[in-house]
Amino acid sequence: MVNKSGFNSKEVCGYPLSIFFIVVNEFCERFSYYGMRAVLVLYFKYFLRWDDDLATSIYHTFVALCYLTPILGAIVADSWLGKFKTIIYLSIVYAIGQVAMAVSAIHDITDTDRDGTPNNMTFHVVLSMVGLFLIALGTGGIKPCVAAFGGDQFGDHQERQRRTFFSVFYLCINGGSLLSTIITPILRAQNCGIYSKQKCYSLAFGVPAALMVVALVVFIVGSGMYYKAKPEGNIMGDVCKCIGFAISNRYKHRSKQYPSREHWMDWAEDKYDKLLIAQIKMVLKVLFLYIPLPMFWTLFDQKGSRWTLQATTMDGNFGAIVIQPDQMQTVNPILILTLVPIMDSVIYPLIKKCGLNFTPLKRMTVGMFLAALAFVCAAVVQIEIDVSRKHLTYFNLTQFVNGMNKPVNVSTSEIFPFLIIIRATFFLQSGQLSCAFSRDFGFGSSYTFFIPSTLSLGSNCQESITGAEDIKPNSVHMALQVPQYFFITAGEVMFSVTGLEFSYSQAPSNMKAVLQAGWLLTVAIGNFIVLIVAEVAKLPKQWTEYVLFASLLLCVCIIFSIMAYFYTYIDPTEIEAKFRRNVGDDDDDKNDKQRKLEMEMMKRDLDRSDDEHYKGKQTKM
Ligand SMILES: N[C@@H](CC(=O)O)C(=O)NCC(=O)O
């Protein structure tokens, strides 16, 4: 198959073979990203021993950084390296970051006294922060490139196949996210270590690191099959320069003696192409509409922080399986995989049949409302938890009272997680004495075990050791989080999937990437808002913070619906064609030299008439 640029690519069932490598790459990369992110907040809390607020703040700073770097990636790819090389180089940076995270979580490295806790926490903090910075640079940098690189592989005659590719691409994102969010919490819950056994964060970060290496290798293997478009020049730079010129030119002509122009961007006409100005106007119109959007992400991204911390205070016993708090996040991709097809093939057509015009902006407004509703549900669940007063911690606190007159060494290994309850086995070691006993725990419970003075060589520890329950297990079930996950995911489908499509359809042909970067920027700002609101509000009760966020989004939702009401949908292709036709008509009549001459004369005439006009105004005044 020969694509639009004359590139001859191999095809399978009408699809370029190269996209197979891109789709697999995306699956592995998203596995790596979401797998690492799923356990991140618990790593901060239980490994680095940060409090909930610091853990939440650093988590959101990291997510914000991941969505700020796409601008950097887009600039590097468009103006310098091209998409292929940008993906390769930034994927290497990304993989190094993931490896740094895995190494930072090996407690044995600084556990000099071998008591199970790191002795030099600064080393672990610094290494993990460097790792997170590299990951943010890598994942954000490649984000606007991979999907666009996939789109580039199709010819103009393959519109249908390209659309299918983007759907499969989105499903791969959520497939990767779903699998990793199930697997990494399981790995994290294992015990591992050289000198002492601790929760295995190093493995939970190590597997995503390995998957990132796989993603890179798969992408490189496909190298010979890709169509690699040359960098088209820095469109983002051109846009900024043109806007800058319009502003400075407007400022230079700020005096009332100069006639105003229809749009402030028209002040760029003195130097820039009319088509470019028209395209920038379209982009600015959409960017203006983006202003309230970060608030949606402020709520949406808290499922990885506040909601995961909330789940640690709940009972994850689902009968046949025990769900880890960080595994609750899988509800989101599961619902995405089911809701997207249902919405597309049932709900939206049904609404259309009822004669309602459910425009993209209306869908996004409803999506915001649903996210606010999700936080109302989270607040109700939080009140339940607070009332139950059994929310100390998800981890079982265990202490031993030693009745013997010699020291006893106790170690433990837990059997996780596909059991109805958590069963912990303890190993006791004191001189010649060595025995083991097992106990079942409920989530959040705390026990004290008594080692009797009579314990000796050959004793049956299972029977001899008695225990007392200090804190009863968490009683509020994790299933209560399902409604809040349902509303936030339904909101995501209506808001995010529609928003992406809206941004694409309203963007001029050469600025689709600019608007994608703008869209991703709203996610970054949303995550910064979490930090600001949480810091400024400093509410004593978690449920009041949820209500505050729900109220803020509701207000923003009302503002957005008003803005949306005044928005008029455009067809960028038609507008661009109109401008090109005007230039084309000129081309038919004039040769290059003549046109240049005419332009010069026109400009001189304009300058003269402007001068006269201004002079005239001055005399009138
Ligand atoms: N629904 C999310 C994935 C998740 O949160 O598990 C999604 O589709 N995100 C888009 C992305 O590009 O990661």
Ligand 1: which of 29, 174, 302, 522 to mutate, judged by most atoms within 8 Å of the beta carbon?
174
pLDDT of 418: 39
Quick one: which of 201, 214, 219, 255 has its CA closest to 47? 201
Rounded distance from Cα 29 to ligand 1 centre (Å): 12
What long-range pairs does 175-178 form, CB within 8 A, spacing at least 24? 175/27, 175/30, 175/333, 175/337, 176/26, 176/27, 176/28, 176/29, 176/30, 176/31, 176/32, 176/34, 177/30, 177/31, 177/33, 177/34, 177/332, 177/333, 178/330, 178/333, 178/334, 178/337
The pLDDT tens digits for 81-123 are 989 999 999 999 999 999 999 999 999 999 988 887 899 999 9
Is any atom of ligand 1 closer than 6 Å to the C-beta of 182?
no
The SS3 call for residue 466 is strand
Is any atom of ligand 1 closer than 6 Å to the C-beta of 177?
yes
- The residue whose two tokens read 């997170």 is 132
The greatest distance separating any two alpha carbons of the chain, rounded to the nearest whole angstrom, comes to 113
Nearest CA to ligand 1 atom 7: 174
- What does the alpha-carbon distance between residue 274 and residue 280 come to, in Å, rounded to a whole number? 10
In DSSP notation, 90-130 reads HHHHHHHHHHHHHHHT-GGGT-TT-SSS-S-HHHHHHHHHH
pLDDT of 152: 84
| CATH fold of 1-233 | Growth Hormone; Chain: A; (1.20.1250)
Per domain, the residue ranges of the chain are 1-233, 397-471
The answer, yes or no, to whether ipTM is higher than 0.90 is: yes
Please answer whether residues 371 and 491 qualify as being in contact, where contact means their C-beta atoms are separated by less than 8 angstroms: yes
Is any atom of ligand 1 closer than 6 Å to the C-beta of 104?
no
The pLDDT tens digits for 535-591 are 787 888 899 999 999 999 999 999 999 999 999 998 888 888 888 777 665 555 545
- The residue whose two tokens read 């705390």 is 446
**Segment (H or E) for 438:** strand 433-441
- What does the alpha-carbon distance between residue 375 and residue 522 come to, in Å, rounded to a whole number? 20
pLDDT of 465: 86
Q: Which residues of the chain have pLDDT under 70?
A: 1-8, 389-397, 413-423, 442-444, 472, 583-621
pLDDT of 584: 61
Nearest CA to ligand 1 atom 13: 173
Nearest CA to ligand 1 atom 8: 174
- What does the alpha-carbon distance between residue 615 and residue 78 come to, in Å, rounded to a whole number? 45
The 3-class SS string of 544-576 reads HHHHHHHHHHHHHHHHHHHHHHCCCCCCHHHHH
Distance of CA 436 to the CA centre of its chain: 45
**Which pair of tokens denotes residue 553?**
């989004």
Please answer whether residues 394 and 313 qualify as being in contact, where contact means their C-beta atoms are separated by less than 8 angstroms: yes
Q: Can you give the pTM of this predicted structure?
A: 0.76
pLDDT of 503: 82
Pairing of the two strands 433-441 and 397-402: unpaired
pLDDT of 509: 74
- What does the alpha-carbon distance between residue 428 and residue 425 come to, in Å, rounded to a whole number? 10
pLDDT of 74: 82
